[in-house]
Copies of this chain bind each other. A is one copy, B any other.
């Protein structure tokens, strides 16, 4: 089948909020598909402006990962720094701020490489992957309960990182592969 073929989207009949907490907004959405089938889905609304996942490049083969406690899985995770885009920020500005807060570096050059979704079936979240080059030491205070550990890793040793039990996050893994492809001579 032709993946470019247009396909009529289902019609949204009704949306309503099911639950709202400090972080999460759960919504019910009633849909009617073109074939007449009606279904109710539930989904999470993401933050209004999306998020950034930053690939801080200390040099052409060295990325700076962070190791911090991840409450969802109740263990430490080794991943790329990330954070929300605030109102009025560009993805590049958010990425620059996040690495100052989490990694202790600023970047003279920032470049949006790709856009990723987290779970498009039930989350609206949109994440911009931003490359950060020409780094210089600069720290802004962050809101982490303990300072994240910064772990330099060579892209040429990506296979060893993938075998590390603390490196599991799909967005970071996708972004590291995308970066390696992009920087490939």
Contact = CB atoms under 8 A, between A and B. Distances in A.
B122 A119 contact: no
A41 B77 CA distance: 16
Interface in A67-104: 67, 69-79
A13 interface: no
Contacts of A19: 18-21, 24, 26
Contacts of A171: 119, 170, 174
A71 to B, nearest CB: 4
A34 B146 contact: yes
A153 B3 CA distance: 10
22 contacts: A3-B166, A7-B67, A7-B76, A9-B75, A19-B20, A31-B71, A33-B146, A35-B145, A39-B145, A41-B71, A44-B44, A44-B72, A71-B121, A72-B117, A72-B119, A72-B121, A72-B123, A72-B125, A73-B120, A118-B119, A119-B169, A173-B178
